[in-house]
A and B are shown apart, each in its own frame.
Chain A
Amino acid sequence: MSNISKPAGSRSVGKTVGSFLANNSVPIMFILICAVCIPLSGFSLDYLLNEIITRLGRNAFLILSLLIPIMAGMGLNFGMTLGAMAGEIALIFVSDWQIWGIPGVILAMIVSVPFSVLLGLFCGKIMNMAKGREMITSYIISFFINGVYQLIVLYMMGSVIPIAHSSIKLPRGYGIRNTVGLLNMRQCIDNLLAIRVGGVKIPALTLLIIVLMCLLIIWFRRTKLGQDMRAVGQDMQVARDAGIKVERTRIISIIISTVLAGFGMILYLQNIGNLSTYSAHSQVGMFCIAALLVGGASVDRASIGNVFLGVILFHLMFIVAPQAGAKITGDSMIGEYFRVFVSYGVITIALIMYEMKKRRQKANIGEQLALAQKEEVQHEQ
């Protein structure tokens, strides 16, 4: 058997470097893009550092919510938008109840949980019915629930669901306005315990929450449930034979992801300071997934390191692209289109690489089986 597969040690150094480059092609490409664009954009280091840290605090939690479904082998959870919508509904209620500041944020998080759990349950059930095409299904679910969300927020809030304050209602008496101001909880978490280093504001509490979340995820991986999820992600059939309730485990992973996405959205919006009722969630899924992939994650493997590298590189590109594009072509729109193109392009490439890898693995298994059979035949002879 040993003469068929070469021992790993005999690989040349060149090959190792090559495989490193191949495995990390997306982050490397982004480092190159940023390296070209930063000098062109003409932004100062202080400004960039400030922006990156702000965006880290704003987005990292949202992106962390993607990790658990990946672990359970359900791919990139485009359904995280559902959690974002749950968070938004909670924020609408909280701002109608006039609960401000950090209590408001905490209350919004608590209120978002039942919505998130319900939506996550729905999403998980549907995805169990569409095994093998979870991603496209979760993607369409996000559109479907977006319709339901608009039905609730635009037609039922104020007419069926009591909304007291006319300041967030449309003048016709029902439906929520296009923007809901969150001025009273704007950056309340970011500003508490904020540290200033030079010209750079570090939202220590937000970052602390994110670090705690990371630790929680690391801990979760080691629990029985976390182990089960990994087993399900590896091979559903094997997991089922081992007595794991596959469907239930998958649903739980989606519920956790949805709840975390809801929390993440609330943290995100408290930083922004106002809620675009009908559009805030529509971009979230795509940008978070792109950022995670830029950090070097793939559809079946993502780590906490990928999250942070991804936020930094993706948002660096995001900040500098319009300016750099304007410098090169004289049109600022070019840079805006460029970054949208890059976001989609990254997701496309990651999806393609994943599918190709899956096929290669299948082919390898087939080959090995054939080889093993051949050997057996030879032995018998």
Chain B
Amino acid sequence: MNNKRKWIIRGCSLLVILAIAALMFLVGRGHTVYIDNKTLEFNGQTADALQRVEVWVGGERLSKLAKRERTMSTVIGQNFEMKLISTINKGDEPTEEIVKISLPYGWDGIVVNVPGYLAGLPQEAWMTEFIAEPEPVTAEDEPELSEDEIPMGDF
């Protein structure tokens, strides 16, 4: 009887740990979001680049984008929130908008096209996957195998 209870407790704690691990998978997925201010064409519709757009993330100004400029931000989790202060044409009064985007889990890098988003184009138009070029391998990245590792240097 006692033995049975012990195993139930063990099983439960294992399940709890697995649940935490699964939760971490959901909560901790990191993405790199690239924010573009570029003219976007989609199915014949055109969304022109904005004169100027300020991107604020987490209460801090990330960047001020002119036409054809790009900035990037990192986010942990699938909900990305940013504030855009955009000037559509020269001399216009800037308009402020809070943008909440739900990011697809499987994409590491995500490009968000601001003009396309503001013009109300469908999501597949302004959100695309960004596949980063793998960094070139330097000589340092080639492993030099040996067990004869001498503990020099810092620890």
Contacts and interface: CB of A to CB of B under 8 A. Distances in A.
Interface residues of B, number: 32
A100, A184, A318: most-surrounded residue (chain B CB, <10 A)? A100
B28 A170 contact: no
Interface centre among B24, B135, B149, B150 (most CB of A within 10 A): B24
Contacts of B135: 167
Interface in A177-197: 177-179, 184
Nearest to B136: A171
A177 B134 CA distance: 12
B21 A107 contact: yes
Contacts of B145: 150, 154, 278
A118 B142 CA distance: 29
A328 interface: no
Contacts of B151: 282-283, 286-287, 340, 343
Nearest to B21: A110
A170 B141 contact: yes
Nearest to A319: B154
Interface string A76-108: 000000000000000000000111111110110
A110 B152 contact: no
Give the residue among B29, B31, B140, B151 with the most A Cβ atoms within 10 A.
B151
Contacts of B23: 103
A129 B145 CA distance: 30
B33 to A, nearest CB: 13
Contact of A99 (B25, B132, B141, B143): B25
A103 B155 contact: no
A100 B30 contact: yes
A175 B143 contact: yes
Given A282-B151, A318-B155, A343-B151, A101 B76 contact: yes
Contacts of A98: 29-31, 108
Which of B23, B132, B155 has the most chain A CB atoms closer than 10 A to its own CB?
Answer: B155
Interface string B5-40: 000000000000100110111011111000000000
A166 interface: yes
A102 B145 CA distance: 31
A99 B24 contact: yes
A154 B141 CA distance: 12
Contacts of A170: 137, 141-143
A99 B147 contact: no
B141 A103 contact: no
Contact of A278 (B21, B24, B143): B143
B46 interface: no
B74 interface: yes
B76 A100 contact: yes
Interface of B: 17, 20-21, 23-25, 27-31, 74, 76, 108, 132, 134-135, 137, 140-145, 147, 149-155
30 contacts: A97-B29, A98-B29, A98-B30, A98-B31, A99-B28, A100-B28, A104-B24, A106-B24, A110-B20, A110-B21, A111-B21, A147-B147, A154-B145, A170-B142, A171-B134, A171-B137, A175-B143, A177-B141, A177-B143, A178-B141, A184-B30, A278-B143, A278-B145, A279-B149, A282-B149, A282-B151, A283-B151, A286-B151, A336-B153, A340-B150
Interface of A: 59, 97-104, 106-107, 110-111, 143, 146-147, 150, 154, 165-167, 170-171, 175, 177-179, 184, 277-279, 282-283, 286-287, 318, 336, 340, 343
